[in-house]
Amino acid sequence: MKGLQGKVAIVTGGSSGIGQAIAIRLGEEGVNVAVNYVGPAQGAEETKEAIEHGVDLCMKRLSESGTRPVLVRADVSDEDEVAQMFDRVLEEYGRLDYLINNAGIQIAADTRDLPVEHFDKVLAVNLRGAFLCAQQAVRHFLDADRPGAIVNVSSVHQLIPKPRFVGYSVSKGGMQNLTRTLALEFAARGIRVNGIGPGATVTPINRSWIDDPAKRAMVESHIPMRRAGDAEEMAAAAAFLCSDEAAYITGQTLFIDGASPSTPRSRPPGHRSDATADWWPNRSTLGRPH
């Protein structure tokens, strides 16, 4: 894609799934990628091993692309850690061209039973984290007086609420307006801000329905294209939005969902929005990136 060779990107939550695929795709396009990740909660050994494996795989693939990747550990909900991450990247590369806000979590519970601290945690990572990283990226773009691009990895659920995942739905709704607001505020300075809205996506985190033929058939039966997407398809869209080929696109969210009925433009007659809770797969779980 045009204009990507030799540029520098930060991909948050880049250890697995969509974030990992975006990091690898950008590397294949010649981008030097700083892969952000945060460790799992104490005692979550299975998750710890999965994240470490994902980090190793991602860094290996990026190194094979001939680029110069770095690994940056930071909790994106922590202002100081975010600032330190950007300082590290700028020290390593001397510049930043792209930010991919991908880090995100979700916690399932009936809204009436959801502890407030769990709601706060989801918003802290998904929305506050995206804001903190975008703020740092914008500051750099302005100080360097050069254009830049931000891609926020959102979800179809920024439009259609997801029952039992109120924190996730609210955070993604907020990300939609974060994208629009930043795009309007900085368009004249050459800073583009867009989002991608994945639908059901095949990632390691979704093994619970991917590996169950009955569950997978149920999920895919609700998608007009009759299949789930894969992380590489999400990554291709993110790379396009970073590239010069998308130079006149800003403030938009590109939905990548196979015309899923969970989005308003394709909802069939008689569709009930609360049915989403019965079939929509989890793209992430507590403490895990998208």
Catalytic residues, by residue number, are 168
Contact 169, 161 (CB under 8 A): yes
How many Å apart are CA 22 and CA 33, to the nearest integer? 10
By CB neighbour count within 10 A (0-12 exposed, 13-18 middle, 19+ buried), where does 42 fall? Answer: exposed
How many Å apart are CA 137 and CA 116, to the nearest integer? 30
Q: To which H or E segment does residue 139 belong?
A: helix 129-144
Contact 100, 12 (CB under 8 A): yes
Q: Find how far residue 239's CA is from the centre of its chain.
A: 12
150 by DSSP, 3-state: which? Answer: strand
Please name which of 223, 233, 148 lies closest in space to residue 197, comparing C-alpha atoms: 233
Sign of CA dihedral 198, 203, 209, 210: positive
Rg (CA), the chain: 18
Cα 73–Cα 76–Cα 82 angle in degrees, nearest 5: 75
Please name which of 79, 124, 86, 120 lies closest in space to residue 104, comparing C-alpha atoms: 124
**Amino acid in position 198:** P
Q: How many helices (H) and strands (E) does the chain have?
A: 10, 9
Contact 104, 126 (CB under 8 A): yes
Contact 18, 235 (CB under 8 A): yes
The first and second tokens of residue 80, run together, are 């100081």
